[in-house]
Structure 1
Amino acid sequence: MTEPRSRRPPRHRRRGHLIGGYGLPALAVLLFLIFSVARPDTFPTLDNVSSILSNQSIPAILALGATIPIASGNFDLSIGYALGLAHIAVLRLVVDGDWPWPLACLAVILGGAAFGALNGVIVEFGRIDSFIATLGTGSILYAFTGWITGGARVLPGPGGLPAAFTDLYDSTFLGLPVSASYVLALAAVLWLLQERLPLGRYLYVIGSNPRAAELVGIPTRRYSVYAFAGSGLVVGFAGVLLAAQQQIGNPSVGLEYLLPAFVGALLGSTAIRPGRANALGTVVAVAVLAIGLAGIGQLGADFWAVPLFNGATLLLAVGLAGYSARRRLRAAGAETRGPVTPPSTDVTASRDTP
């Protein structure tokens, strides 16, 4: 049955929705074509695609982890520090503690989840803003990392690391780096969680309007702690992969992943489901960043081009996220033709503290 013309959204609104939702994937394709034309011998090759997928898999996983607390209206700034400690802990357990590598990986992943839950408890029950709380806990983690390593790198023994452990990152799957399959699998799990299960929907409601969530009976504090625990779990897994990739422990390596992770998460909230932190949008955003960085690298850009690109993209991502949220609010108000207060999805806005 055809929808009555009067109930259809205006054509310009439908067109704006398509541009807002799928403009970022189109940009990824456009950038790939541009750099392929500029560097036809090196950019559109399987080796280059494999290199991009391999190099950007850990930032992509971190960005996906960051989307979980963002959906609940919080930010976890400790993920970079936690990544550094996680990869150090895996190597220390395997090299110095003689732990079997599967047990060491499991302990670090579960430890990441426990630390994430602690972040959630501090934020929700300590009534501390998530920016400040996670920046403080992250600094403590960084200090702890320096203490257990003495500021020195963790090196493997004479026999090296177990081959099965390094294969977690170095092997291939269907001709592509296996780390790319981890990104896709994690994105699928988060998409299912956010779009099809009550837990994800509760997090969106809490992030939009925590007071309204409490009024309808959602235990906001508990689910916010769950969000931080999920983020910590993902960061622990990323730390395992980083250890398998680097094969040495660098106490300060995690900090360089913090900005790209948040750029991907925030920019991803402007795609697929504009105004919401979503897994598919984050994957697309990381793809845009990966293609852009690889392209400017092959064009011979100077070393400062990478932080410039990341910083400018972060500002653009925050601006677009706020614009998408405001546009969605206006559209909801126009459809109801009355005074409404739909949930705010502006990821740049802080949650109200009772």
Structure 2
Amino acid sequence: MTASTRPRPRRPGGPTRLARLRDSGGHLVGAYGLLALTALLFLVFSLTLPRTFPTLDTVDSILSTQSIPAVLALAAMVPIVTGAFDLSIGYGLGLAHVMVLRLVVHDGWPWPLACLAVIVGGCVVGVLNGVIVEFGRIDSFIATLGTGSMMYAVTGWITDGGRIVPGPQGLPPAFTDLYNSTFLGLPVPAFYVLAVAAALWLVLERLPLGRYLYVVGSNPRAADLLGIPVRKYTVYAFATSGLLVGFAGVLLAAQQQIGNPSVGLDYLLPAFVGALLGSTAIKPGRPNAPGTLVAVAVLAVGLTGIGQMGAEFWTVPLFHGGTLLLAVGLAGYASRRRLRTGATAARDSPGATAQPPTPPPQEGGTP
């Protein structure tokens, strides 16, 4: 037997083909299991409710009504990438939509200027949250809960505890069309969600900024040793979250057309359920925009089917609470499994060495 035909000895401790197939199957289930669950739920409800569920009206309703929760879930996801939580997003949503209507109805601002001011204001609030968390050295749970409570107080002060109701002429049609219009036969808000998700996917998965954010979230000490400014990137994450909350507030104002100071709190729990459950899909173990959209789709299909079956009102918070517990558990398991898989792959690869993330560029350099 020549050297060229001699079988290569198996490295001791190397993975067998069966183990590799098992790992590959587990990865596929983890990555696309939530997407398969969405299709399964849709099929089950379609068979159970053949006259009402599998219709274009139901699809349009899901795409329209879930656009604001989807944007808010994406807003909650960005700080989670850095290992922080922004509990002020529900309070910020309420303040943003009230401010839009206050500026348009009471102060007579042109609606485009009012929307722009609220979105910029949301970004400023996000920056303040990030500064308080990072430079004040306050836990993100406590810091954002405190700022959120303050925003709720500002909302009550602006509305004087009541509602902002437009006059007899109503709101400008161009403003309400931000939510009520259609494009290519589908509700326009669905395209807003796709645009936001695509932008976040591009930043997080294809740009150095996203790589640094993930490093900050997975190991802040290692990020600091690599020269990544942890504080700056955490503030960036909170600023992005605040900007998206301001945008969601604009959509909520166009949808509701009445300023309700307490409506934003109803969106807080679904947003975190979507963000945490999304970290178990597409890229299990790390928050990601496509996974968040899949998680929102699961919640939307489930809640719509339950609602059409005539479930009681209390089933909605029960569904969200149970799903949140499941999401946290699955997210933790997916993260641990991802770490184990990475460690095993590094150990079994001959001659492989762990490559540290690329450090940020120096002044005048390129990443």
Q: Give the TM-score category using the shorter length.
A: over 0.9
Alignment-derived partner of residue 147 in structure 1? 157
**CA distance 1:307–1:341, shift in 2 (3 Å):** farther
Q: Quick check: 8-17 or 82-91, which moved more?
A: 8-17
What's the C-alpha RMSD, in Å, of the aligned pairs? 1.7
- 1:286 is aligned with what amino acid? V
Question: 1:329, 1:342 within 8 Å by CA — same for their partners in 2?
Answer: no
1:48 and 2:87 correspond: no
Alignment-derived partner of residue 329 in structure 1? 339
From 247, 256, 277, the counterpart of 1:237: 247
1:16 and 2:45 correspond: no
1:242-261 equivalent positions in 2, closer than 5 A? 242-261=252-271
Alignment-derived partner of residue 280 in structure 1? 290
Question: 2:67, 2:193 within 8 Å by CA — same for their partners in 1?
Answer: yes
TM-fit CA distance, 1:341: 9.7
From 41, 60, 73, the counterpart of 1:63: 73
Alignment-derived partner of residue 220 in structure 2? 210
Q: After superposition, what is the alpha-carbon deviation per residue over 1:251-278, rounded to whole angstroms, capped at 9, x for unaligned?
A: 0000000000000000000000001110
Question: 1:154, 1:248 within 8 Å by CA — same for their partners in 2?
Answer: yes
Alignment-derived partner of residue 138 in structure 1? 148
- 1:55 is aligned with what amino acid? T
Alignment-derived partner of residue 39 in structure 1? 49
State how far apart, in whole Å, the 2-side matches of 1:300 and 1:40 are: 15
Alignment-derived partner of residue 360 in structure 2? none
1:80-91 equivalent positions in 2, closer than 5 A? 80-91=90-101
1:114 and 2:114 correspond: no
Runs of 4+ residues over 4 Å off in structure 1: 4-9, 340-343
Alignment-derived partner of residue 361 in structure 2? none
Q: After superposition, what is the alpha-carbon deviation per residue over 1:218-262, rounded to whole angstroms, capped at 9, x for unaligned?
A: 011001000000000000000000000000000000000000000
Number of positions where the alignment pairs a residue of Structure 1 with one of Structure 2: 339
State how far apart, in whole Å, the 1-side matches of 2:271 and 2:95 are: 17
DSSP 3-state at the match of 2:259: coil
TM-fit CA distance, 1:332: 1.4
DSSP 3-state at the match of 1:10: helix
State how far apart, in whole Å, the 2-side matches of 1:329 and 1:210 are: 16
State how far apart, in whole Å, the 2-side matches of 1:336 and 1:87 are: 49
TM-fit CA distance, 1:159: 1.0
Alignment-derived partner of residue 198 in structure 1? 208
Q: Quick check: 119-128 or 150-159, which moved more?
A: 150-159
TM-fit CA distance, 1:185: 0.7
**CA distance 1:341–1:78, shift in 2 (3 Å):** farther
- 2:212 is aligned with what amino acid? Y
State how far apart, in whole Å, the 1-side matches of 2:343 and 2:110 are: 58
TM-fit CA distance, 1:342: 10
TM-fit CA distance, 1:148: 1.3
DSSP 3-state at the match of 2:165: coil
State how far apart, in whole Å, the 1-side matches of 2:240 and 2:91 are: 16
State how far apart, in whole Å, the 2-side matches of 1:45 and 1:224 are: 43
1:182 and 2:192 correspond: yes
DSSP 3-state at the match of 1:337: helix
Alignment-derived partner of residue 171 in structure 1? 181
Question: 2:253, 2:259 within 8 Å by CA — same for their partners in 1?
Answer: yes
TM-fit CA distance, 1:331: 1.1
TM-fit CA distance, 1:337: 2.1
Alignment-derived partner of residue 102 in structure 1? 112
State how far apart, in whole Å, the 1-side matches of 2:26 and 2:137 are: 39
DSSP 3-state at the match of 1:42: coil
TM-score normalised by structure 2 residue count: 0.90
Question: 1:59, 1:257 within 8 Å by CA — same for their partners in 2?
Answer: yes
State how far apart, in whole Å, the 2-side matches of 1:342 and 1:30 are: 40
- 1:271 is aligned with what amino acid? A
DSSP 3-state at the match of 2:193: helix
Larger radius of gyration: 2
State how far apart, in whole Å, the 1-side matches of 2:223 and 2:317 are: 38
DSSP 3-state at the match of 2:66: helix
TM-fit CA distance, 1:336: 2.0
State how far apart, in whole Å, the 1-side matches of 2:68 and 2:88 are: 16
TM-fit CA distance, 1:45: 0.3
Unaligned segments of structure 1, at least 5 residues: 344-354
Question: 1:332, 1:342 within 8 Å by CA — same for their partners in 2?
Answer: no
TM-fit CA distance, 1:329: 1.2
- 1:220 is aligned with what amino acid? V
State how far apart, in whole Å, the 1-side matches of 2:139 and 2:303 are: 33
Alignment-derived partner of residue 222 in structure 1? 232
Alignment-derived partner of residue 157 in structure 1? 167
- 2:111 is aligned with what amino acid? W
Alignment-derived partner of residue 346 in structure 1? none
State how far apart, in whole Å, the 2-side matches of 1:203 and 1:334 are: 24
